[in-house]
Amino acid sequence: MPTLKFAVLAGDYIGPEVMSEALRVLEHAAGLHGLTLQATYADVGGAGIDNHGKALPESTLRICEASDAILFGSVGGPKWEKLPPKEQPERAALLPLRKHFTLFANIRPGLLYPELTAASPIKTDRIPDGIDIVCIRELTGGLYFGKPKETTPLPDGDVQAVDTMIYRKSEIERITATAIAAARSRKKILCSVDKANVLETSVLWRRTVTDYVARHAPDLQLSHMYVDNAAMQLVRNPNQFDVFVTENMFGDILSDEMAVICGSLGMLSSASLGAGKNALGLPFGLYEPAGGTAPDIAGKGIANPCAQILSAALMLRYSFGLEEPAARIEAAVRKAVTSGARTGDIAFGGPSVGTRAMADAVISAL
């Protein structure tokens, strides 16, 4: 029986609540497809700080290294807010994990079922069929990692801070390859988003994407858009995009915009794929819901587990090459939601169910 060896980093607040439901769904799907789960739990984020003094403890890193993928919950919250910025769970856990495993390709599906269009802040007549787009964000380069990155007091008494935006051609090429694969699996339309009218890195970005697609994917229809325009087009007519690819910070911002127009953060999954391969010869990856730790609803059993469940499906697809159970879980979530099982965030004031009942509905739909 194929064994799925993965690390479970549930994190803080609603993280563990939605994680345990996702694992129940995964176990059920594994049973149906003859798979064995080998999940190893480890602390991360605030739980790492509380139990080991560090947001990303060494022991957690070792467990991840010995696994074929990471199923991630979410980290951070008011409890650790007073720590210096560099020690905050988000920055001290997620960014080093991305760097350590070179998780350069962040795939964020922006999916809104037609049945849930009322959850979107966009007028429903503009998105009669819902939304179905994909954001591919470069995740280990640009402003978030470039050096120098520092704050310096100046001789004249002023203070100056600098972040550095750096991109190598090779970094742009590998994320373009990911975007090409995503576009080929869909409508073969790719939009590259940059700020080439102002930034040097964007000029290189646009030239590199253009050349790479011309050489490796002449079958694709490639377009380019400035990021400010893209932010506007995304709310004006989201489905004009199919797959869009962009650098780290632009992708951070645009993917949050995409998340809100898709109704609820509780429905959105993401995959961060590494440059390295796992023991199965497939991309090592980290899979996490797009929403945060939601401290305001933690402990109440009402958080939406769907994003975590869908992230587990992405893990099956990309790091274990198991398309069939992945698609089956995705279909089950869709069926459960559209047939009326809904947590508060997607219930529009109608009857709602709790975290566990939502997962139960997905399991019956499986």
Return left, alpha or beta for 79; rule: phi > 0 is left, psi -120 to 50 is alpha, else beta. Answer: alpha
Q: Looking at beta carbons only, is 37 or 95 nearer to ligand IPM?
A: 95
CA distance 298 to 9: 17
Binding span for ligand IPM by CB under 6 A among 7-15, 88-96, 191-199, 207-215: 88-96
Residue 286 makes contact with ligand IPM by CB under 6 A: no
Binding span for Mn ion by CB under 5 A among 10-18, 187-195, 234-242, 245-253: 245-253
Task: Name every residue whose Cβ is closer than 8 Å to that of residue 44 and which is 6 or more positions away in sequence.
Answer: 9, 10, 11, 55, 56, 57, 60, 72, 75, 89, 93, 97
Q: Is 144 a catalytic residue?
A: yes
Q: Minimal distance in Å, beta carbon 97 to ligand IPM? A: 10
CA distance 231 to 265: 18
94 binds, among ligand IPM, Mn ion, none (CB under 5 to 8 A by kind): ligand IPM
Q: Is 156 a catalytic residue?
A: no
Residue 138 makes contact with ligand IPM by CB under 6 A: no
CA distance 189 to 92: 36
Sign of the C-alpha dihedral computed for residues 142, 145, 146 and 150 taken in this order:
positive
Q: Minimal distance in Å, beta carbon 90 to Mn ion? A: 9
Residue 252 makes contact with Mn ion by CB under 5 A: yes
CA distance 341 to 347: 9
Residues 89-128 as x/- pattern, contact with ligand IPM by CB under 6 A = -xx--xx---------------------------------
Residues 62-91 as x/- pattern, contact with Mn ion by CB under 5 A = ------------------------------
Q: Which of 90, 101, 247 is nearest to 166 (CA)?
A: 247
214, 244 in Cβ contact below 8 A?
no
Rounded to 5 degrees, φ, ψ at 163 are: -120, 150
Q: Minimal distance in Å, beta carbon 140 to ligand IPM? A: 10
Q: Is 256 a catalytic residue?
A: yes
Q: Minimal distance in Å, beta carbon 95 to ligand IPM? A: 6
Q: What DSSP string runs through 92-126?
A: IIIHHHHHHTT--EEEEEEEE-GGGGGGSSS-GGG
Residues that bind ligand IPM in the complex, under the rule CB under 6 A: 90-91, 94-95, 252
Residues forming contacts to Mn ion in the complex (CB under 5 A) are 252
Which of the residues are catalytic? 144, 195, 228, 252, 256
